[in-house]
């Protein structure tokens, strides 16, 4: 790749200046299609286009299209995102991605507002953000619920709450309710419960009214997490779901406060999650719980709609 090391070093410095929590930039993988673009000042930028097709009945197809063209930019310190996205569009012209179940995706630091302008101009939208919350003292949240660890015996309750969140998110984000959604979710949740994963239920009068499905993720050199998060052990808040009739009553706040406490007790230096900016609930709720965007997932569906 053209001057890859120099671009990586310059991009790492750029990331640091944008947000101290961003990890250093890494060289894109070599198994994709390399594109380059020349800028008016004579500098060049580069990127790798990765094309993935996800199998039917896979969990990832519940929040992703079946076919994904992802651009991994390497623009260094330049404002070359517009030129790189133009080359991305030309690459698609030669491959004719006419499948409706497809998308173009770019992950980029949320605080890079100049790059955001280029993404918008090319038809990409900020469909989701990776938001982080560092381990900090939090005010005590009065508890009016019973909160406990979920077990395999709770599969039915966990499944229904998870599917409720999936359906709601499909209207305001990238989630897709496919015909196989129930079976896929049931299989994945049964496995997680059998492995005693950090999943909690909030109960009122013995009835499950909310779910927090979480995990512990290590951000270490060579891991995917290390390309998104600072080094260390992180709590991942994968899904928080409150029954529709119980929303807006403080149940979610109580459950999340408890989940934070437990994840930090497990050694997490912080927690992270994904939420959809178009979601009128999560876009307000999560910042109030101390989260702020670190990465934005820019996306356009179908892939052919990239400008």
- Residue 70 · residue 106 · CB < 8 Å: yes
Residues 6+ apart with CB under 8 A from 161: 201, 208, 210, 211, 241, 242, 243
Structure tokens at 245: 């009739």
CA distance 240 to 212: 4
Domains and CATH numbers, the chain: 4-129+298-305 (3.40.630), 134-294 (3.40.630.30)
Give the pLDDT score at 168: 96
Mean pLDDT of the chain: 95
In whole angstroms, what is the distance from residue 132 CA to residue 124 CA? Answer: 23
Q: Is pLDDT above 70 for 1?
A: no
- Residue 143 is predicted with a pLDDT of 83
Q: What is the pTM of this model?
A: 0.95
pLDDT at 2 over 50: no
Q: What is the mean pLDDT of residues 223-238?
A: 98
CA distance linking residue 62 with residue 68, whole number of Å: 13
Q: Residues 250-269: pLDDT tens digits?
A: 999 999 999 999 999 999 99
HSE at residue 283, side-chain half, CA atoms within 13 A, is: 12
Q: pLDDT per residue over 48-83, tens digit each? A: 999 999 999 999 999 999 999 999 999 998 889 999
């Amino acid at each position: 790749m053209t001057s890859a090391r120099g671009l990586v070093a310059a991009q790492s410095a750029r990331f640091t200046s944008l947000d101290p929590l961003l990890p250093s930039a890494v060289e894109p993988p070599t198994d994709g299609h390399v594109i380059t673009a020349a800028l008016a000042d004579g500098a060049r930028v580069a990127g790798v286009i990765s094309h993935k097709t996800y199998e039917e009945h896979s969990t990832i197809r519940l929040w992703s299209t079946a076919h994904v063209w992802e651009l991994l930019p390497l623009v260094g310190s330049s404002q070359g995102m517009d030129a790189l996205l133009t080359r991305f569009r030309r690459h698609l012209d030669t491959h004719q991605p006419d499948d409706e179940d497809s998308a173009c995706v770019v992950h980029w630091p949320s605080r890079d507002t100049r790059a955001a302008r280029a993404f918008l101009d090319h038809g990409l939208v900020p469909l989701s953000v990776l938001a982080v919350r560092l381990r900090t003292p939090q005010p005590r949240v009065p508890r009016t619920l019973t909160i406990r660890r979920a077990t395999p015996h709770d599969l039915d309750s966990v499944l229904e709450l998870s599917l409720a969140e999936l359906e709601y998110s499909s209207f305001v984000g990238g989630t897709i309710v496919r015909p196989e959604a129930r079976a896929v979710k049931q299989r994945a949740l049964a496995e997680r419960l059998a492995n005693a994963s950090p999943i909690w239920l909030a109960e009122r009068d013995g009835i499950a009214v909310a779910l927090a499905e979480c995990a512990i993720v290590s951000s270490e050199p060579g891991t995917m997490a290390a390309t998104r998060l600072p080094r260390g052990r992180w709590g991942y808040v994968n899904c928080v779901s409150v029954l529709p009739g119980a929303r807006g009553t403080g149940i979610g706040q109580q459950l999340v406060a408890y989940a934070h406490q437990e994840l930090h007790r497990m050694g997490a230096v912080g927690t992270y999650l994904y939420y959809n900016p178009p979601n009128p609930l999560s876009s307000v709720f999560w910042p109030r719980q101390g989260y702020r965007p670190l990465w934005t997932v820019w996306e356009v569906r179908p892939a052919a709609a990239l400008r």
